[in-house]
Structure 1
Amino acid sequence: MNTYQPSLNSQWKSLDGARALSILCVLACHLLPLGPKTYFDLNIAVGQFGMAIFFSLSGFLIAHKLITERSLVEFAINRAFRIMPLLLLLLAITFAWRMPNTSMESFSTHFLVIVNNFPEHYFKETEHLWSVCVEIHFYILAALGFLVFKRSGLKLLVMLGVVLSIYRFQEQALFSTTTLFRLDELLIGLSLGLIWHSDSPLSQYLKKNLAMINPLYMMIGLAVASLAPPHPLLFILRPYIAALFIGSLLFNTQAYATRTLASSMWSWISKHSYALYIIHPFLLLTWLSSGDKLTMYAKRPLLFIVLFAVAYVSTRYYEQFFIQVGKQWIKYRRTSKTGTPITVPTPTHLEPVFYEHRTKNTVRT
């Protein structure tokens, strides 16, 4: 057993906390007025901060899934049945409501999950889907790299992430939501999964050093790098600082920040984070977000109550139904190959989901 690898039995509870923190930051960014805009736009900064944490966390988890799943087919089934049902329901509601005043281009870019590359086809309630698009493109790229080159493919993708970071800096594409200019934030996170699953001298050295990093310092550094308007260099360094933050949570298990984020108080929010993310833009189109500014924010407590209630129902009944369908499909595939009933492990709620950052000025970060 690795000296610096924490127990798998903990299910990385501090990562539950990191996920909960990231979705709370996104919700605060979209639903609350965060201070004056004299020097910095704190709404943008908080959203950037939460998004960076999530993308790094997602990169680590996808590397772990690819390395540990029994097959890429099972990886695809798990991802599809976890993500697509709620996403497709959202799109079905959107287009049913907006018909017949929608174009075929808008329909196709949304349902093909490429609308982030054609932002002119967004609707107000679907602007946040840019991160879903980038995440799914990342899944496909990571799976293809692993299919062709196994773990070496993930290493190549990490290097590709570094190249894309440099290119993004050169192009000063700080707020673009296209796949080309956002993949680096996910690809860098893959390195954490490779470190976790390797016993090489280099990985042991990295684990030892990550175990000495205080996650709190990384959080502060990430907060500074997330300030808006951003310093271009700090902005590009965000994925690397976020990776150090997630890596320190993984290996510095005795740090105060790690133990705090591992608290059970974060578990419920983490479990329902995907539904919270994908549902909240719809509530902004309802009576709960109507009226002048004072009236609108006076309704915010009620909006939060409704949001968390709907997220609970979605997670507990709608999404869980399809997750179970996916598990049964995997079980059937395994049984048909072996002729012996096989138990499919129940997935934990620490699954990659999607957050985003949007501002009232339609700058999507």
Structure 2
Amino acid sequence: MSANLTPAAEPPRPISEPSPTAEHYPVLDGVRAISILAVLWTHLMPFTLGGIPLNESLGMFGMALFFILSGYLITGQLLKRPPVSSFLARRLLRVVPAAWIALSVVWWFRPVDLETALSYLFFYANLPPQRLVPPIDHFWSLCVEVQFYMLAALMLWLRVRAIWWLFPALLMTFTGMRISHDITASSVTWFRADDLLAGACLALVMHSRFWPAVRQVLSRPSMVPAFLLLLMAGSFLSHEVYNPLTYLRPYAAAAFVGALMAQPRHRLSIWLGGPVFAYIASISYALYVWHLPLAATWLGSGDLWVKYLKRPLLLLVVFGIAHVSTFQVERRFNELAKRVGAGRGRRLKEV
């Protein structure tokens, strides 16, 4: 993805093909749903292939898709140039309240020291020296996410047009750092942020004058399965085998998602755009936040057979709490964020 991209007007699109600047792609809900289902399977069920444990690989696959979507959507918001306060209100009220509620519940039963608590509350627990502790060690990804929000807000405040060269430059830099340190997977921001930045660069390409030509290439029927296979090859790890394709994981994931959006009538795009996936996507954040804390309770206890016999009940509870959290907690804060943003926008117009 080139660093010299510049925004430009696009030719009209057919009604059946959404514009990246205006409409919603239903397939993205499906991608989000697949990402959280992969993470749930990673943490809650065994996954082996030919006797090789691949739970970490499946998690890598799911998190790559999650970060690609996040980078893509956040960058799309940046290009609309909202007020910084509105942007931060929407992003932080989307993430922080539910996370802090979960942390409060976990720490009630499993207290932590002050330094660890602060590192979680302010989303830097994943940075060295890491203070990630079970059953909330999966919050490393929320730390990466919130840190990206801070970078995005800084660019919005300074000069948003700089992202056209900064994000591609950071993408190549962080991938280069992973290669130089032989790191295929990490929870440290600078060894994982290329997933987010690949999604950000996908958004830049889709809002550039190059998108019609890129879309024409991605619209070939072979592109969806080809990039999916490359993403899987770059995600599925074996500790005994060095796999250089892992360094291509962010780029394959971005290309795969881009191909799905370029082909809204592809069989996989239609399937992922279904209502079941839309619902799972709507509660995906709460599913992510709550699944490991709940797995650390009686619902996840016992020897091997007892533990897995309880899995249906655990999943039922996880989905139930995620539903309540999404529609009774997160939705209220999302509505508050919209009011804050709307109020800020009105004040700016009056000035």
Q: TM-score, normalised by structure 2?
A: 0.89
1:27 match:
40
Deviation at 1:337, TM superposition (A): 4.1
Deviation at 1:20, TM superposition (A): 0.4
Structure 2: 5+ residue runs without aligned partners?
A: 1-9
1:80 match:
92
Deviation at 1:36, TM superposition (A): 5.4
Q: Give 1:205's match in structure 2, choosing from 195, 204, 213.
A: 213
Tell me the SS of whatever aligns to 2:123. Answer: coil
Q: Give 2:273's match in structure 1, choosing from 234, 237, 262.
A: 262
| Separation of aligned partners in 1, 2:188 and 2:135 | 18
Contact 1:109 1:118 in 2 (8 A): no
Pair 1:188-2:198 in alignment: yes
Deviation at 1:312, TM superposition (A): 0.6
| Separation of aligned partners in 1, 2:256 and 2:90 | 27
1:115 match:
125
Contact 1:87 1:278 in 2 (8 A): yes
Contact 2:286 2:326 in 1 (8 A): yes
Task: Tell me the C-alpha RMSD between the 2 structures.
Answer: 2.1
Pair 1:16-2:25 in alignment: no
Number of residue equivalences: 335
Pair 1:240-2:240 in alignment: no
Alignment of 1:32-181 (within 5 A): 32-35=45-48, 38=51, 40-99=52-111, 102-118=112-128, 120-181=130-191
1:216 match:
225
Contact 2:185 2:192 in 1 (8 A): no
1:348 match:
none
Contact 2:27 2:270 in 1 (8 A): yes
CA offset digits 1:290-317 (Å, max 9, x no partner): 1100000001011111111111111010
Counterpart residue identity of residue 232, structure 2: A
Deviation at 1:146, TM superposition (A): 4.0
* Cα separation, partners in 2 of 1:35 and 1:173, compared to 1, 3 Å: closer
2:4 match:
none
Contact 2:89 2:337 in 1 (8 A): yes
| Separation of aligned partners in 2, 1:232 and 1:170 | 14
Q: Which runs of 4+ in 1 moved over 6 A?
A: none
Q: TM-score, normalised by structure 1?
A: 0.86
| Separation of aligned partners in 2, 1:149 and 1:180 | 22
Contact 2:71 2:196 in 1 (8 A): yes
